[in-house]
């Protein structure tokens, strides 16, 4: 497979990039122990049209600002990552929450999950209808699990689906929202367009079957070659609008060095009711894990793309494990190539579609301040095999978020090639 690297090597890996991909000066560091943290978000791996690039970047900027506002107020990573996801879900341009793809029945069913790197607790919902912000339910599941066992020694759930998930959410104070209020003109028009194409495909398939039977009875069927094939009539994933995008997500490190990750998705267009994508599956949609004795780096990952491909490869956890290597950039490049594009679990696929955002962080001595103080060094990366991926990032010291639409270079083949970019950010000093 062709391998493509779109990054600029720098001290400790790749440099911090601005919207044009140029290196930023990250020497400004606060040393008072306040407002330390970092957030990286994505608005889906898929196709981002130039005509709507501003909208995609704008929602990523808002998501970053929401998370940083939480961090500045002293919130933990889990709360900050939840705030970022709410902003992404509320945007009509993303396939998550409001504006999600409609399923075969014309309904919205969402998946979401969140993971806390400190406690390693996880919460998820799948095929959830009637809730505006699925990530809130996942977050509440996580927090309820942290309280311990239920009455009579019952184990609290960490993953709920369908009607049961909706009932649980309402019972825990999360208000319902009719699906029709979550649909947008983009998602509705895509559904109607796809439904017509499916009806045409079914008609062609029926005619082909009937013609084959007639041939078997030695009946001549003229003009069969003009029927076309079902493969030529594919479900439209959006015609360059938001419906072609999959999961949105965010990863955060807070002032204590704790990490958290979250992911949310409306799923594939015209999916079967009840289908649950990678956004809800453990180790597939997101992963967060604080450093420990055997793992020197804290890591956080959020994925996007074709859910079935990401589920079969457990890409989020694979990327997290790879980030313990000395060279983060090379490690991500290798895991995307060997464990995703060339994965034996996807050997039958000729187009493997997905993307990830990854960060890892560790504490280091702040030589600019005092040997008794430490700084957080954050390396952040993103990689994708889709045509493009929109990302945004911001530290608590930044005045505004940076955004970037990463694209495969000209001539690269989506699903067979990959792009990888990223940067390094040194956060303010904290007490040891």
In whole angstroms, what is the distance from residue 300 CA to residue 77 CA? 11
The secondary structure of residue 35, as a DSSP letter, is S
Q: Starting at the edge strand that comes first in sequence, how are the strands of the sheet with 298-305 ordered?
A: 286-289, 298-305, 354-366, 370-384, 419-431
Residue 373 neighbours by CB under 8 Å, 6+ apart? 31, 365, 366, 429, 430, 431, 432
Q: Which of 247, 303, 385, 386 is catalytic?
A: 247
Q: Is position 247 annotated as part of the catalytic site?
A: yes
d(CA 236, CA 233): 9
Dihedral sign from CA coordinates of 226, 232, 234, 236: negative
Q: Return d(Cα 180, Cα 188) in angstroms, integer.
A: 10
Backbone phi, then psi, for 360, in 5-degree steps? Answer: -140, 150
Long-range CB pairs of 323-328 (<8 Å, 24+ gap) are 323/297, 323/299, 323/358, 323/360, 324/295, 324/296, 324/297, 324/299, 327/13, 328/13, 328/358, 328/360, 328/379, 328/381, 328/422
- Residue 329 CB contacts under 8 Å (≥ 6 apart), including other chains: 7, 9, 13, 14, 381, 420, 422
- CA-closest candidate to residue 45, choices 247, 320, 346: 247
Q: How far apart are CA 301 and CA 415, in angstroms?
A: 20
Quote the strand ranges of 25-148, DSSP E: 38-46, 110-116, 122-128
Environment class of 102 (CB within 10 Å of its CB; exposed 0-12, middle 13-18, buried 19+): buried
Give which of 80, 130, 66, 24 is closest to 404, Cα–Cα. 24
Answer yes or no: are the C-beta atoms of 96 and 110 closer than 8 Å.
yes
CA–CA dist 122, 126 (Å, integer): 14
Residue 282 three-state SS: coil
| Rg of the chain, C-alpha, whole Å | 23
Long-range contacts of 225-232 (CB under 8 A, 24+ apart): 228/204, 229/204, 230/201, 230/204, 230/205
- What residues are labeled active site? 247
């Amino acid at each position: 497979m062709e391998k493509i690297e779109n990054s600029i090597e720098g001290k400790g890996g790749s440099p911090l990039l601005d919207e044009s991909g140029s290196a930023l000066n990250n020497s400004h560091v606060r040393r008072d122990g306040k407002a330390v943290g970092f957030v990286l978000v994505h608005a889906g791996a898929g196709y981002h049209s130039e005509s709507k690039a501003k909208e995609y970047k704008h929602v990523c900027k808002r998501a970053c600002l929401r998370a940083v506002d939480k961090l500045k107020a002293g919130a933990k990573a889990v709360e900050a990552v939840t705030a970022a996801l709410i902003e992404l879900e509320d945007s009509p341009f993303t396939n998550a929450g409001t504006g999600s793809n409609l399923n075969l029945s014309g309904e919205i069913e969402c998946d979401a999950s969140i993971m806390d790197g400190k406690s390693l607790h996880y919460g998820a919902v799948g095929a959830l209808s009637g809730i505006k912000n699925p990530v809130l339910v996942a977050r509440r599941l996580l927090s309820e699990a942290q309280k311990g066992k239920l009455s009579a020694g019952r184990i609290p759930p960490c993953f709920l689906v369908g009607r049961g998930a909706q009932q649980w959410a309402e019972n825990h104070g999360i208000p319902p929202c009719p699906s029709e209020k979550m649909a947008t003109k983009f998602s509705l028009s895509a559904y109607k367009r796809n439904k017509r194409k499916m009806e045409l495909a079914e008609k062609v398939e029926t005619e082909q079957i009937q013609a084959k039977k007639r041939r078997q009875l030695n009946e001549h069927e003229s003009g069969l070659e003009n029927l076309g094939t079902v493969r030529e009539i594919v479900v439209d994933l959006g015609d360059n609008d938001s419906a072609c995008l999959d999961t949105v997500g965010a990863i955060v490190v807070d002032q204590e060095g704790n990490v958290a990750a979250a992911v949310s998705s409306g799923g594939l267009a015209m999916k079967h009711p009840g289908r649950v994508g990678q956004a809800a599956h453990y180790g597939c949609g997101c992963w967060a894990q604080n450093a420990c004795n055997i793992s020197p780096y804290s890591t956080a990952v959020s994925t996007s793309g074709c859910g079935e491909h990401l589920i079969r490869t457990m890409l989020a956890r694979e990327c997290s494990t790879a980030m313990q290597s000395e060279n983060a950039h090379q490690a991500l490049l290798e895991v995307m190539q060997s464990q995703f594009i060339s994965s034996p679990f996807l050997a039958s696929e000729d187009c493997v579609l997905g993307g990830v955002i990854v960060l890892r962080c560790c504490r280091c001595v702040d030589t600019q301040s005092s040997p008794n103080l430490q700084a957080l060094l954050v390396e952040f990366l993103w990689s994708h095999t889709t045509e493009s991926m929109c990302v945004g990032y911001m530290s608590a010291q930044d005045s505004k978020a940076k955004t970037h639409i990463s694209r495969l270079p000209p001539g690269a083949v989506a699903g067979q090639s990959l792009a990888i970019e990223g940067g390094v950010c040194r956060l303010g000093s904290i007490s040891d």
